[in-house]
Homo-oligomer: A and B are copies of this chain.
């Protein structure tokens, strides 16, 4: 059993998760971060107290948050979605409720959920990619999360791959997430359409990543090109990660993992082409099990992966 919180820009989810990874109790409140940090902390404290009523024996709360956390897990250094900078969230919660508050990056929380109860269960060394608006990640080695010396490990989306036609939001050019995210494939298709390519995507001008994947599955040439490009760069990144930490298994989650085996097969092929020891040291590549609940389930299980 464990209490987990998934702190997002729009909503805060809290829940009690049992030892099989099932959510027994779940509460959802709006974040409304425009009210200021103190108000959100008050809401978090109230939420934790409510969850403790259902499970009074708990002494730890795991909190997954988007952004950069300090390596000691005490501070949210930067959380653009909530407009927080250098807030001592651990201290501010622990001063108001008698629990140990542990912070974790939300993508790492998802990686924990998969390792504890999902697609990477049983592997001591696993890596997760979350393919959504951007590309996030998580790393678990020897059954421990890797947060890094400055708390910014597993920022896979910002690995530099090659020159690209648009700059990343981070300011660099060539980041993995400008090739292998939903944003990346949407921008790629738009760019090609402006160049005069034809595609069934023109029927829906505000197409999203899902529409591109559906079009690719329906043999649309442009959409297929965009998805192949995503898989090529992602396979390249997975191969390079294998040269650095040699994971046993890599799991693919996030909104784009909706594409299922269709995308997974492409990613596997592109990875194998680039591995140093494709026959001897090939990471298994799988689809993530959890969707929207991954952050909550992972946060509730954080302590045993520290």
Please report A residues at the B interface, Cβ cutoff 8 Å. Answer: 68, 77, 123-125, 139, 141-142, 144, 146-156, 158-160, 162, 170, 172, 236, 239-249, 274, 276-277, 280-281, 283
Contacts and interface: CB of A to CB of B under 8 A. Distances in A.
Contacts of A283: 149
Nearest to A174: B274
Given A172-B274, A241-B244, A236 B160 contact: yes
A148 B281 contact: yes
A139 B68 CA distance: 23
B281 A246 contact: no
Q: How many copies does the complex hold?
A: 2
DSSP class of A's interface residues: helix, strand, loop or mixed? loop
Contact of A139 (B123, B147, B245): B245
A277 B157 CA distance: 13
Nearest to A176: B243
A167 B274 CA distance: 13
B280 A246 contact: no
Contact of A280 (B77, B141, B154, B274): B77
Contact of A244 (B123, B139, B151, B162): B139
Which residue of A123, A158, A249 has the most chain B CB atoms within 10 A of its CB atom? A158
A276 B172 contact: yes
